[in-house]
A and B are shown apart, each in its own frame.
Chain A
Amino acid sequence: MATTTATLTLTSPDVTGHSFNMTQVATLTKAASSTGLDEFTGITSRKYASAQTDTVIVADSIYADTTVAHKVYIRNTSTGSSDHILVELEGNIIIGRLYPGDWMFIPYGGTLDVQVTTTATNVSIEYGVFSQSVAS
């Protein structure tokens, strides 16, 4: 059984009237289970020579769905401040924009593709999926 942990640390000295510092640790397990997620795509790195429209980076057809605890990680590895990646679920359901350096980590139900759209050339991205081999 694989053991994978995801730790989030959020810090700010000044976004509120007092300093803010929060750490959360999740052990990535299968749905409703103490058994660890058993699949991982690895981290894929891409540099898109041209702007992308609804490019699929996570295809729902290859994952068990619904009663699952898959996780998707995506990061905009571009430099500068303006070249964003629009992250959507299939059907143009907009999640949001990742600007350079931004990352996201979401639960994934395996029912819709995850797609990205970019507006500039040479936008760089990295992404990966932690998943369970069958639904619980």
Chain B
Amino acid sequence: MATTTATINLTSPDITGDPLNLSKTATLTKAGSNTGLDQFTGITTVVYAAAQTATNIVAAAAYADTTVSHKVYIKNSSTGTSDFVTVELGGSNVFMGRLYPGDWCFFPYDGTLDVDIDTSAVGMKVEYGVFSQSAAS
């Protein structure tokens, strides 16, 4: 059984009147279970020569769905401040949000909708990966 942990640290000395220092660690397990997630795509790094529109980076067809606790990681590894990655869900490309250079996201994925991205410029670098369970619980 694989053991994978994901830790988030959110810190700020000044976004509120008091310092913010939040640290939470999740052990990535299968849905409704103490058994660890058993699949990982590795981290894919792509430099897109052209701007992308609705480019699929996580295909729902490749994953068990619904009663699952897959996790998706995406990072805009571009430099500068302006070139953004738009993260979208499903065939209608529902807009989740934009990742500006250096931004990352990590979210649960139930395997029913594709995850697609748009990129706003040429030469953008994106990395992504999926931790998943081999079968639905």
Q: Chain A: residues with CB nearer than 8 A to chain B? A: 2-16, 20, 22, 24-29, 31-34, 36-38, 40, 42-43, 67-71, 73, 75, 81-82, 84, 86-87, 89, 91, 93-99, 101-109, 111-112, 130
Are A94 and B113 closer than 8 Å at their CB atoms? yes
Besides A97-B67, A109-B95, 17 more A-B contacts (Cβ < 8 Å) are A3-B13, A4-B15, A5-B9, A9-B5, A14-B3, A28-B103, A32-B100, A42-B16, A89-B94, A95-B109, A96-B70, A96-B109, A101-B26, A103-B106, A106-B105, A107-B96, A112-B95
Are B99 and A107 closer than 8 Å at their CB atoms? yes
Residue of A nearest to B112 (CB): A94
With most chain A CB atoms within 10 A of its CB, the pick from B33, B38, B110 is B110
Name the distance in Å between A74's Cβ and chain B's nearest Cβ.
9
When distances are taken between beta carbons in the complex, the residues of chain A under 8 Å from B26 are 101-103
Interface SS of A by simple majority: strand
Q: Chain B: residues with CB nearer than 8 A to chain A? A: 2-16, 20, 22, 24, 26-29, 31-34, 36-40, 42-43, 67-71, 73, 75, 81-82, 84, 87, 89-90, 94-100, 102-110, 112-113, 131
Known: A10-B73, A14-B2, A130-B15. A26 touches B102 (CB 8 A): yes
